Amino acid sequence: MEGDARTKRMDRELASRCLAELGARGWKVRCAPAGRIGDLESEIRSLRDTGKMSEAHYALCLDCWDFSAARAFPGPASILVAASPSRTRRLDFHAGARRVEAVLPPIFAERFSFKASVIECLSSILGPAGRHASPARLPEKLLAARTGLARIGRNRLAYVDGMGSYCRLGAFLVDLPFPDDGWEEALRPSACADCGACERACPSGALKQGGERFDHDRCLCYLNEETAEPFPAWAEGAWHHAFMGCMRCQEACPLDAAYRGLVEEGPSFDPGETEAILSMGPEAAEGDLPPSLREKIAECGLSKLLFLLPRNLKALTDKA
């Protein structure tokens, strides 16, 4: 009994040190018992079953998420969802003599290094106590909304206090009980009630009926991030403005007024690098790229998406 009490006290101290250290780095965190992973899975399945998510979108999601992750951790475990501020990047390319500017949405920059930094931080505290943390492939926006970390706007973006939608989310599994932050209804920001600016700004009509419906297959984020197919004829050339994804509904949102101007510059791709991207084949591999181009693409968080880059860049250079 005494040993149990001591273990619980040590667990509480470890969890509290982890949360304090994550907070000291400017990251916001919410926690839930790992058993909530089953609730996330049921909720996503119910979106599919009620027609709010298409079969194709559901299949794509299942490729990205792993709802069985907690089984790797016997005993009590927690899920943590963390948010860090993130900025838009302004990239420029040089197609011959022309300079072509494109944005990279905040979700891409540092998307791998943020998770690695959180794991490094957690492991430095948990490792010496024989505990572990690992990244979890879970629906991060839904998890953030359910734990009260974020609200989900009509544009389907996650809004975190003090960061707006200019944030990056990461989910993590830890073999330690953390304080339970509760499991609330996924709420909209109250500002959405009388707004609709995102729906008006969306060029493709993906947002519909006051944000009640989202046509995933019409969203540019799907077209340029999630499929390697040529862009459909109905996707007008003028809509393309981002190297990856789309920011029209984010740029229009009044909740982001304080954050959208905080843009990071670069990298800049010289004419040779621009041409090298445009001429990449579908089998292009990181190792085939000149080191400087490889580094710039890695800096953008796009190393694993090389096969999409020539098509996306061509849409931008054709438009310019």
Among 15, 198, 306, 309, binds ligand SF4 (CB under 6 A): 198
Part of the chain binding ligand SF4 (CB under 6 A), chosen from 43-51, 52-60, 246-254, 304-312: 246-254
| Closest CB 56 distance from ligand SF4, rounded Å | 16
| Closest CB to ligand SF4 among residues 197, 298 | 197
Supply 39's token pair: 């609730």
Question: Taking CB under 6 A as the rule, does residue 191 contact ligand SF4?
Answer: yes
Question: Taking CB under 6 A as the rule, does residue 187 contact ligand SF4?
Answer: no
- The DSSP annotation for the chain comes to -HHHHHHHHHHHHHHHHHHHHHHHTT-EEEEEETTHHHHHHHHHHHHHHTTSS-HHHHHHHHHH--TTGGGGS-SS-EEEEEEEE--EEEEEEEETTEEEEEEE-TTTTTHHHHHHHHHHHHHHHHGGGT--EEE--S-HHHHHHHTTSEEE-TTS-EEETTTBT-EEEEEEEESS----------PPPGGGGG--HHHHH-SS--EEGGGTEE-GGGSHHIIIII--SPPPTTS-GGG--BSSS--HHHHT-GGGTTTTT-EEEEEE--HHHHHHHHT--TT--GGGS-HHHHHHHHHTT-GGGGGGHHHHHHHHHHH-
Question: Taking CB under 6 A as the rule, does residue 204 contact ligand SF4?
Answer: yes
Question: Taking CB under 6 A as the rule, does residue 207 contact ligand SF4?
Answer: yes
Among 126, 195, 277, 300, binds ligand SF4 (CB under 6 A): 195
Q: Which of residues 253-272 bind ligand SF4 (CB under 6 A)?
A: 253-255
| Closest CB to ligand SF4 among residues 103, 253 | 253
Q: What is the CA radius of gyration of the chain?
A: 21
Question: Taking CB under 6 A as the rule, does residue 316 contact ligand SF4?
Answer: no
| Closest CB 51 distance from ligand SF4, rounded Å | 19
| Closest CB to ligand SF4 among residues 47, 197 | 197
Question: Taking CB under 6 A as the rule, does residue 196 contact ligand SF4?
Answer: yes
Q: For residue 301, which phi and psi values (nearest 5 degrees)?
A: 75, 25
Q: How many residues bind ligand SF4 (CB under 6 A)?
A: 25
Among 79, 221, 302, 308, binds ligand SF4 (CB under 6 A): 221
| Closest CB 211 distance from ligand SF4, rounded Å | 6
Question: Taking CB under 6 A as the rule, does residue 206 contact ligand SF4?
Answer: yes
**Nearest-5° angle of CA 157, CA 189, CA 87?**
40
Question: Taking CB under 6 A as the rule, does residue 289 contact ligand SF4?
Answer: no
Question: Taking CB under 6 A as the rule, does residue 53 contact ligand SF4?
Answer: no
| Closest CB 210 distance from ligand SF4, rounded Å | 8
- The residues of the shown chain that bind ligand SF4, judged by CB under 6 A, are 153-155, 189, 191-192, 195-198, 201-202, 204, 206-207, 219-221, 246, 248-249, 252-255
